[in-house]
Chain A
């Protein structure tokens, strides 16, 4: 995974990068679960992007007189509503397809914020050490001392319930993991010879941090980002379920569960399908994460 960064050897570096990528794909594609996970996520991405065209109905459209219809294959089901309808007569399938947009966006936004903030803090702490390190890592310790969901709940209560604030809160709770990881990798890398030689060549702090050291910490970071992606989806759904995330009538999967809870004995499909959607998405992402870890972790490669 070493990335050559000196300017004179661009053709060689390009070749090495391609070889590394090919090797990575070789190991990744050997893991059947990871490939299945990737396929499932790809399907969800297509569904999310094309939701308005694929979904049979608009997610908020209510069909009067058709509330709590069971899925089409059950007794009393209507083929027009494949997965049935919810308590106010909205098509569950359409809501789920639109919900994919929310979950994937949540994952993407949360991981981007958490990774950028965490990487910056981790780089600063690991590179400068001393009091910068102490202050940053103590703050991370404090964040990690609270149960993540509880902290996110309190933060959302402060910022006000809603999807955007829920994403900010979850990102803040997840970012210490990135900071810790980057700090540890940076500390391991800064004593290596290639860093010393870059320093001798006159590279400044910023260049050393971002161009020399950071690319060599990428492996574990990618794995962490995948894990955080699934955690973000789970936590956002949990906040939605508790009434502190996306607000009704948003077709966010967790929020759909919160409302359907009242009907678990009379219309169990209202809670069954959104939960299943969360589980399948998170499982697929975790499968990818496992595959990435095996492919990027040289310790496990040969086993």
Chain B
């Protein structure tokens, strides 16, 4: 097992280096001058420009700039935001829990609804229930989620007034972050109204972000179940006289879940892409909104290190999924 993990880690190293080169190169290729961007509307004198250029190392050859960047990243220095003048890593760590909280709720909703829906569709294969479920799933899969979010806001927030339009929690609450998760922090403080407010703010963004993963999980569960239901061991279990419920829940579902777990893991990258749109629509203060704003404002250090951090997290999650997959399915460890 350990050798399996080590081998996976070793394979990742060149990719990680490649990612850091890309993140670095992208930002160098962005049009505009970083020093002029830093100086803002006041501008700089030519002498000051040269001083700044040297101070930030922009006068060095490009490969040396890259090595310097890599060196500082390895010591935990991800640069300073041009907009807020705060370290990028600090900003990231403040905003990251908001995205994780939203993503966790979304993946829980997607799994809790998607897996049973897929199982039901497979068991009742060909029935109107199967067709309806898969029709809804394909519609969800085809959904432009930015529009879907606007529709939900139009209906539930503007028309019915049930849910708040934007943000993480009502402005009247101020909680000093403990974990950074609004729902957990409000409970830790014993502040019940704050917890309710946080939950109400979560509903619509969670639904929007969960839509596509839910559809993918439901479809994948259905096809995995269908495959398993045709296997010999399921027939054996049926022949033994086990109840249909036991055959489906224990014998079939357990084996069908193996590919589904990989699918759920692979949704993490999709969730990050979805978070950019979802957070923009709901003004959710997470890293998706932070990245798009930084790209639009040309905040180079944030774009560069944000890209790097996000890609690293996705790779780490994929690695964990690979390892989990090997744990539940020993067959693939052998190779």
Contacts and interface: CB of A to CB of B under 8 A. Distances in A.
Interface of A: 33, 138-139, 141-142, 144-150, 153-155, 157-158, 160, 230, 234, 237-238, 241-243, 254, 257, 261, 264-265, 268, 271-272, 274-275, 278-279, 282-283, 285-287, 290, 303
A283 B150 contact: no
A91 B22 CA distance: 44
Given A142-B18, A145-B314, A147-B269, A257 B147 contact: yes
A271 B226 CA distance: 39
Shortest beta-carbon contacts, A-B, top 7: A275-B147, A147-B273, A149-B273, A147-B272, A283-B142, A282-B142, A142-B18
B273 A279 contact: no
B314 A150 contact: no
Interface string B7-38: 00000001100110010001001110000000
B325 interface: no
Contact of B144 (A237, A242, A243): A237
Contact of B276 (A141, A149, A282): A149
A138 B307 contact: no
A138 B14 contact: yes
B158 interface: yes
Interface of B: 14-15, 18-19, 22, 26, 29-31, 135, 138-139, 141-144, 146-148, 150-151, 153-154, 158, 226, 269-270, 272-273, 276-277, 280, 291-292, 295-296, 298, 303, 307, 310-311, 314-315
Nearest to B14: A138
Given A147-B276, A150-B273, A257-B150, A158 B31 contact: yes
B311 A278 contact: no
Nearest to A253: B144
Q: Residue among B19, B31, B142, B147 with the most chain A CB within 10 A?
A: B147
Contacts of A144: 269
Contact of B158 (A242, A243, A254, A265): A265
Contacts of A282: 142-144
A146 B307 contact: yes
Contact of B143 (A139, A153, A279): A279
Given A154-B295, A154-B303, A147 B310 contact: yes
Contact of B151 (A238, A242, A272): A272
A145 B147 contact: no
Given A142-B19, A265-B154, A279 B272 contact: no
Contact of A238 (B277, B303, B310): B277
A150 B139 CA distance: 24
Contact of B311 (A146, A237, A286): A146
26 contacts: A142-B15, A145-B311, A146-B22, A146-B311, A147-B270, A147-B310, A150-B307, A153-B292, A158-B29, A158-B30, A230-B142, A241-B146, A242-B277, A257-B150, A264-B150, A264-B153, A265-B158, A271-B147, A275-B150, A279-B139, A279-B144, A282-B142, A283-B139, A283-B142, A285-B142, A286-B138
B154 A243 contact: no
Nearest to A234: B144
Given A237-B144, A257-B146, A303-B226, 13 more contacts: A146-B307, A147-B276, A154-B295, A154-B303, A154-B307, A157-B303, A158-B26, A242-B292, A271-B147, A271-B151, A282-B142, A282-B143, A283-B139
Contacts of A268: 154
A232 to B, nearest CB: 13
Contacts of A230: 142
Contacts of B295: 153-154, 157
A155 B22 CA distance: 11
A264 B15 contact: no
A242 B280 contact: yes
B158 A264 contact: yes
A139 B21 CA distance: 11
Given A153-B276, A257-B147, A257-B150, A146 B310 contact: yes
Contacts of A241: 146, 277
Nearest to B219: A290
A68 to B, nearest CB: 15
Contacts of A275: 144, 147-148, 150-151
Contacts of B141: 286
A245 B158 CA distance: 28
Given A149-B277, A153-B295, A242-B280, A160 B144 contact: no
B333 to A, nearest CB: 21
A147 B307 CA distance: 9
A286 B295 CA distance: 31
Contacts of B298: 157
A269 B276 CA distance: 24
Contacts of B276: 147, 149-150, 153, 242
Contacts of A238: 144, 146, 277
Q: Residue among A157, A241, A271, A287 with the most chain B CB within 10 A?
A: A157
B280 to A, nearest CB: 7
Contact of B315 (A145, A254, A261, A279): A145
Contacts of B139: 279, 283
Nearest to A264: B154
